[in-house]
């Protein structure tokens, strides 16, 4: 039997498994979600290699209704997915979902994160999404997850932002005082929240900041915002303290391109003098903390972390032999519909961009000219060396514009390096 606080949470998710996604809905075309849940993405960021998912063991800790388990299975073909959750209703729905979509290399268990060592397994990748901030002791939960992570494995988890969700924490405190969170909230408590918020004057701060008419049509959202048992908020300093206590190291935030501090300014290339002086001296934790103080728009502090003592290798593009580096298209872009869209842009001489397919890692959009796009077409068949791409680029661009001077292989190679560097920053391509 879980502790009393976890028992109430179990009852809440038995009543309303989360996320509330229809059984038949497939993430197969949701390239952004598949990118986030692919082992390839964080392994490349940390280890500078393109990992193959076949035969890997993946844990979905707090699998809920199984939709994230389904995404993990789609994003990592050939991997075995193990899902656990404290809610038996959620676990049963997860089994049903994965079976419906034809995945057989899956197991689901009704159990607590604290009991994970009893499985006797170590995992290449652990996904613990929307769970850690609900645990009575997040540090103990993080330590339990670390205990079943392989030495070179990667853990993805997240914390609720204290700044972004401040209004909801006020609402939770209010409804806790009103007795609506003494037990696991159900339909009656939801209706009482609606009645309260509907009756408040519109200028009341809590209503203005923590209420929207959509809650009256989609009342289950109240359970995950206004009546979420165990919900706690964290800051970036809290994150780094937690990682230090658990003896884990940050790889990066999952949406790292959306936490870039200079982009908050009207002209990132001409910052105020104090920021020009200060930014180069700041640690990563300080840069991220300044971002959340200025612009707390991210509900989740979503991150990947690893066991300590795994240094990240030097970047291949900084090697003396960078021309021989291998360029691989990210697996979640190796889809025929994306290749066809690129071909259409080539045929119509219109720009192409990967950003609409994987916006989570996009900084500024990178529009590719038709000749740049055409130079990348072989990546849908197999990885290519930068030199091979440069030869193709040269054949497509025999002269330079606007001078019409002959294009040389050296100039073509420099153009390709610049393009690959831009695309690699968003992990549209991977360089090894």
Q: Look at the block and give the residue holding tokens 């391109």.
A: 257
Going by pLDDT thresholds of 50, 70 and 90, the confidence category of residue 4 is confident
- Please give the span between the terminal C-alpha atoms of the chain, in angstroms, as a whole number: 48
Which among 80, 88, 36 has a CA at the least distance from the CA of 60?
A: 80
Q: What pLDDT does 2 receive?
A: 60
Which residues of the chain does CATH 3.40.50.150 include?
Answer: 4-163+231-255+298-306
Rounded Cα distance, 214 and 401, in Å: 53
Is the confidence at residue 1, as pLDDT, over 70? Answer: no
For Cα atoms 230, 231, 234, give the angle at the middle one, nearest 5 degrees. Answer: 130
Please give the distance of CA 309 from its chain centroid, rounded to a whole number. 23
Is the confidence at residue 141, as pLDDT, over 70? Answer: yes
Going by pLDDT thresholds of 50, 70 and 90, the confidence category of residue 418 is very high
Is the confidence at residue 62, as pLDDT, over 60? Answer: yes
34-38, 159-163, 321-325, 355-359: which range is least confident on average?
Answer: 321-325
| Mean pLDDT, range 195-205, rounded to an integer | 97
Is the confidence at residue 415, as pLDDT, over 90? Answer: yes
Digit-coded pLDDT (tens) for 90-134: 999 999 999 999 999 999 999 999 999 999 999 999 999 999 999
Mean pLDDT of the chain: 95
Residues of the chain above pLDDT 90, percent:
92
Is the confidence at residue 244, as pLDDT, over 90? Answer: yes
Rounded Cα distance, 382 and 392, in Å: 14
Digit-coded pLDDT (tens) for 274-325: 999 999 999 999 999 999 999 999 999 999 999 998 899 999 999 898 988 9
- Measuring CA to CA, how many Å separate 375 from each of 5, 118, 312, 330, 367? 57, 51, 30, 16, 14
CATH topology of domain 4-163+231-255+298-306: Rossmann fold (3.40.50)
Residues of the chain above pLDDT 70, percent:
99
Rounded Cα distance, 88 and 109, in Å: 8
Digit-coded pLDDT (tens) for 368-392: 999 999 999 999 999 999 999 999 9
Going by pLDDT thresholds of 50, 70 and 90, the confidence category of residue 187 is very high
| Mean pLDDT, range 351-358, rounded to an integer | 96
Say if CB 129 and CB 155 are below 8 A apart: no
């Amino acid at each position: 039997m879980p502790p009393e606080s976890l028992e109430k949470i179990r009852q809440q998710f038995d009543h309303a498994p989360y996320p509330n996604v229809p059984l038949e809905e497939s993430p197969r075309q949701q390239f952004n979600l598949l990118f986030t849940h692919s082992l390839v993405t964080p392994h490349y960021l940390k280890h500078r290699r393109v990992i193959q998912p076949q035969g890997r063991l993946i844990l979905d800790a707090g699998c809920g209704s199984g939709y994230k388990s389904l995404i993990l299975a789609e994003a990592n073909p050939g991997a075995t997915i193990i899902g656990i959750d404290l809610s038996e209703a959620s676990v049963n729905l997860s089994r049903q979902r994965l079976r419906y979509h034809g995945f057989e290399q899956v197991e689901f268990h009704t159990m607590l994160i604290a009991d994970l060592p009893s499985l006797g397994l170590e995992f290449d990748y652990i996904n613990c999404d929307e769970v850690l901030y609900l645990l009575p002791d997040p540090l103990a939960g993080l330590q339990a997850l670390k205990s079943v992570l392989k030495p070179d494995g990667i853990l993805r988890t997240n914390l609720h932002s204290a700044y972004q969700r401040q209004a909801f924490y006020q609402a939770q405190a209010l409804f806790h005082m009103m007795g609506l969170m003494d037990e696991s909230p159900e339909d009656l408590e939801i209706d009482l929240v609606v009645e309260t918020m509907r009756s408040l004057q519109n200028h009341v701060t809590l209503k203005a900041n923590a209420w929207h008419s959509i809650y009256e049509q989609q009342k289950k959202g109240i359970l995950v915002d206004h009546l979420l048992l165990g919900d706690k908020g964290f800051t970036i300093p809290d994150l780094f303290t937690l990682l230090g206590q658990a003896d884990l190291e940050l790889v990066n935030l999952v949406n790292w391109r959306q936490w870039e501090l200079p982009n908050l300014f009207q002209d990132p290339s001409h910052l105020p003098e104090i920021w020009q002086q200060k930014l180069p001296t700041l640690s990563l934790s300080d840069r991220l903390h300044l971002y959340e103080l200025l612009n707390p728009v991210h509900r989740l502090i979503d991150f990947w972390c690893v066991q300590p003592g795994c240094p990240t290798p030097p970047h291949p593009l900084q090697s003396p032999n960078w021309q021989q580096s291998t360029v691989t298209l990210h697996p979640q872009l190796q889809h025929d519909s994306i290749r066809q869209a690129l071909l259409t842009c080539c045929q119509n001489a219109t720009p192409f961009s990967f950003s609409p397919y994987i916006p989570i890692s996009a900084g500024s959009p990178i529009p590719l000219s038709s000749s740049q796009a055409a130079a990348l077409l072989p990546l849908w068949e197999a990885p290519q060396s930068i030199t091979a791409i440069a030869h193709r680029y040269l054949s497509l661009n025999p002269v330079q514009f606007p001078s019409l001077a002959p294009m040389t292989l050296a100039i073509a190679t420099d153009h390709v390096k610049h393009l690959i560097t831009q695309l690699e920053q968003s992990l549209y391509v991977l360089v090894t």
